[in-house]
């Protein structure tokens, strides 16, 4: 990203308040501990506050109420939310990159497909029969789009994405490299002879608008009906979503989450990495679920939990402290038992 802006010009874009040299030049972005001259960085997490006294950045985005504990010799741009502001700036910079358009060869687009405004199809991509394309769809090399798939406006399919037949992708969805949308759900019926008979998976996957799917994540098609990821939800890399799962609006899930079949998850949940959800359970809204938790049963709304089975965060860490003393406590119990035995002998 090649650009050059004064701090004054940058602050005008984000409605920021300047403390320092408004004429200093910004020509890049970097983390606060790695930034060099010319870089803009940000301070959002208090754990990184000590870096503001040593960073080599030219300017730092900070909260409007930030008060330094020590003297600093750096330009500040005060904003309401530094992290959100940086995200807007990065998105603005990214939007200036050249936009992919046109059809590369070799690639295959079935004759039944109507090519739309702003379409890009990369080399070795395949678009099957009766696929419906919105405007400005970007299909990168080696993508497979099966028959009767619908792709909304401004959808981006990065290299190697596979979308099986019949699935529906909403507007402005982004699917990262290697993700598989609509593979068969894991359905097998046990037979009397100990073998398993495959159950046909005749449903689809629906991604509503503004959903993002991480690299190598898999979302299985429903046995019947649809596996659904609702508006605004963001899934990280290497997540498994099983058949007939429903994920509500504006959830965020970190890598390696696993969701078993027919589980229903509400809205605005934040899920840490490697969390496992049992099948056929219900999760409410506005929950925070810590990394590596396991949910064997349904939960309600507004909980902050961690563990397997999960408990409240304060209880979890209290229990954790106890487990660190188990060996010591075992010795204490052994000594108490020995003392009790000696007292019993003395009183006989």
DSSP secondary structure, 147-191, as one string: TT-EE-TT-EE-TT-EE-TT-EE-TT-EE-TT-EEEEPP--EEE-
User: First and final CA of the chain: distance in angstroms?
Assistant: 87
**Residue 218 dihedral angles phi and psi, to the nearest 5°:** -125, 135
- Exposure string of 220-249, with b = 16+ CB inside 10 Å and e = fewer, is bbbbeebbbbbebbbbbbbbbbbbbbbbbb
Q: Where are the alpha helices (DSSP H) in 257-325?
A: 313-324
- The reply to whether 70 belongs to the active site is no
* Relative orientation angle of helices 313-324 and 326-346, to the nearest 10 degrees: 60
SS3 of residue 65 by DSSP: coil
Sheet holding 28-29, edge to edge: 17-19, 75-79, 59-63, 39-42, 28-29
Structure tokens at 190: 């046990």
- 22 sits in the region (left: phi over 0; alpha: psi -120 to 50; else beta) called alpha
**Residue 286 dihedral angles phi and psi, to the nearest 5°:** 60, 35
- Asked if residue 309 has a cis previous peptide bond (ω within 30° of 0), the answer is yes
- Exposure string of 70-79, with b = 16+ CB inside 10 Å and e = fewer, is eeeebbbbbb
Among the listed residues 70, 165, 243, 280, the single catalytic one is 243
Q: List residues with catalytic annotation.
A: 243
């Amino acid at each position: 990203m090649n650009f050059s802006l004064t701090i004054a010009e940058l602050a005008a874009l984000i409605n920021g308040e300047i403390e320092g040299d408004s004429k200093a030049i910004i020509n890049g972005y970097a983390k606060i501990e790695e930034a060099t001259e010319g870089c803009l960085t940000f301070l959002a997490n208090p754990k990184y506050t000590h870096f503001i006294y040593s960073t080599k950045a030219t300017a730092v985005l900070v909260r409007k109420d930030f008060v330094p504990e020590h003297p600093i010799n750096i330009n500040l741009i005060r904003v309401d939310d530094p992290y959100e502001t940086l995200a807007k700036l990065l998105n603005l910079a990214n939007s200036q990159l050249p936009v992919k358009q046109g059809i590369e060869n070799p690639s295959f687009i079935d004759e039944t497909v109507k090519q739309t405004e702003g379409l890009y199809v990369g080399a070795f991509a395949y678009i099957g029969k009766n696929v419906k394309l919105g405007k400005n769809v970007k299909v990168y090399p080696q993508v497979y789009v099966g028959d009767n798939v619908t792709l909304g406006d401004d959808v981006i399919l990065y290299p190697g994405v596979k979308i099986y037949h019949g699935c529906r992708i909403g507007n402005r969805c982004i699917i990262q490299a290697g993700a598989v949308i609509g593979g068969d759900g894991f359905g097998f019926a046990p037979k009397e002879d100990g073998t398993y008979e495959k159950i046909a998976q005749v449903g689809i996957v629906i991604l509503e608008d503004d959903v993002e799917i991480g690299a190598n994540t898999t979302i299985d098609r429903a046995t019947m009906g649809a596996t659904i990821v609702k508006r605004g939800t963001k899934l990280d890399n290497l997540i498994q979503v099983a058949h007939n799962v429903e994920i509500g609006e504006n959830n965020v899930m970190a890598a390696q989450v696993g969701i078993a079949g027919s589980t229903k998850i509400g809205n605005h949940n934040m899920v840490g990495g490697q969390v496992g959800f049992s099948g056929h359970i219900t999760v409410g809204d506005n929950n925070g679920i810590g990394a590596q938790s396991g949910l064997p049963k349904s939960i309600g709304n507004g909980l902050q939990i961690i563990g397997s089975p999960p408990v409240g965060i304060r209880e979890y860490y209290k229990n954790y402290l106890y487990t660190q003393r188990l060996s010591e406590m075992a010795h204490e119990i052994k000594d108490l038992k020995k003392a009790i035995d000696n007292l019993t002998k003395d009183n006989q």
